[in-house]
Amino acid sequence: MSKDAPFDPHNDAPLLSAYVDGELGPRDAARVEAYLAGNSEARDEVEQLRRLKGLTDILRLKEAPPEDWEAFWDSVYNRVERSLGWILFLLGATIFASWGGWQLARNFLAVDTLPGWVKGAVMVGIAGGFVLLVSVIRERIFKRSRTRYKDVIR
């Protein structure tokens, strides 16, 4: 659409807010003013936008006290440190458990005195326990990261 085209209320509605904020160039401002001259509803809308702008201009955010900022950054550092600690711990535990499981399976399967079905049953039981453990840990992590109420203080 050309900038010289008449004001289109459907496509150019955001220009009314920009007009109230004084953000329009001379061409767009002239288009909006020509539209406002012939439309009382649009003038009412612009007046409402001006009142709203007046109200929002006097609002100020309350600055947080320095103690709150310090507590916030302390909690960020604690969360980062603990997350890194848990990641490293779980990585080490996983590597150790994998090595231990491999050694156990290798030695267990090497025993010739046990029937094959006993070895199979034990291995299936260990695999099932491992799957359950991973499932519970995954579920706990998933729920903890997505709970809406974890930061609610009672």
pLDDT at 67 over 80: yes
Per-residue model confidence (pLDDT) at position 135: 93
When comparing pLDDT for 145 and 115, which is higher?
115
For the segment 24-53, what is each residue's pLDDT rounded down to a tens digit?
988 888 888 988 898 888 899 999 999 999
Q: Encoding tokens for residue 117? A: 């079905």
Q: Encode 77-93: b = buried (16+ Cβ within 10 Å), e = exposed.
A: eeeeeeeeeeeeeeeee
Looking from the CA of 70 toward its CB, the CA atoms found within 13 Å total 3
pTM across the whole model: 0.40
Per the prediction, the chain carries an average pLDDT of: 85
> Distance between CA atoms of 106 and 127, rounded to whole angstroms?
14
